[in-house]
Amino acid sequence: MKPYLLQMLKEIALLGGVRNTIEVSSVELADQLNTSQQTASRYLLELDKKEFIHREFGIKKQRITITDNGLHALEDEYSQYKQIFDLESKVCFKGVAVSGMGEGKYYTNQPGYIQQFQQLLQFTPHPGTFNVEITPIERNKLRLLKNVGGLEIEEFTTKNRTFGSVLCFPASVNGVKGAIVLPRRSHYSTIIEVISPHYLRERLAIKDGDPVEVMVFLKKK
């Protein structure tokens, strides 16, 4: 939807056009939008044609109601703004399921990690990680997470080697509880690793390439 049409739809909504009929002339709407009567009229024609509003003509002014279609458009926009101002409490990643190379299983079987997961997350992770590939542009949100800070999993040493520290955030994958795991060392990649008390791949009935939504929860300040 063209941004200028959405703007007009918003204006109609603010005047009470949601589940209610308003009576306005194209001149009045033009004034509200700081534009000409002709442009307001054209916008109304476009909104009508695209079924975002319904119009009836009287002898003067016109009666306008926002359709379900139009209401959905407004709701979508609203939810984006809610997300922006909610970004300090939760961050949403959209991606697709991918297979790792089994290293996830190796790490999540280390007692040194398992104990800390149990303590900080109050669950025992199912062996292995569930990997989600995100678009490069969403890596910016990973940076955001590191800036805000999360649960610190400390490094530890076994007789064989050292396991590095990890930053961890409670999360959900398509609504199922878990946590995401960001190794401190590695640079931001386009793969998010998720651990969960459940075997996510089975629980969500997901195979490689399926779209998934990862919601990451930040600790409130």
- Determine if 62 is a binding residue for DNA (CB under 7 A): yes
Q: Which does 130 bind (CB under 5 to 8 A by kind): DNA, its own copies, none?
A: none
- Determine if 147 is a binding residue for its own copies (CB under 8 A): yes
3-state secondary structure of 105: helix
CB neighbours of residue 202 within 10 Å: 9
Q: What angle do CA 176, 182, 186 make, to 5 degrees?
A: 150
Can you read off the two tokens belonging to residue 32? 């509200």
CB of 11 to DNA, least distance (A): 14
The span from the CA of 103 to the CA of 52, in Å, is: 51
- Determine if 136 is a binding residue for its own copies (CB under 8 A): yes
User: Which region, judged by CB under 7 A, interacts with DNA, from 41-49, 68-76, 116-124, 137-145?
Assistant: 41-49
* Residue found under tokens 């089975």: 202
- Determine if 1 is a binding residue for DNA (CB under 7 A): no
- Determine if 45 is a binding residue for DNA (CB under 7 A): yes
Q: Provide DSSP, 153-185.
A: EPPEE-SS-EE--EEEEEEEETTEEEEEEEESS
- Determine if 213 is a binding residue for its own copies (CB under 8 A): no
3-state secondary structure of 40: helix
Question: Which alpha helices (H) appear in 62-169, and where do they start and end?
Answer: 68-85, 103-108, 111-121, 139-148
- Determine if 36 is a binding residue for DNA (CB under 7 A): yes
The residue from 57, 60, 80, 220 that contacts its own copies (CB under 8 A) is 80
Can you read off the two tokens belonging to residue 207? 């195979």
**Which stretches of the chain bind its own copies, using CB under 8 A?**
3-4, 6-7, 10, 13-18, 20-24, 28, 31-32, 74-75, 77-78, 80-85, 87, 91, 136-138, 140-141, 143-144, 147
Residues that bind DNA (CB under 7 A): 2, 4, 24-28, 35-39, 41-45, 57, 60-62
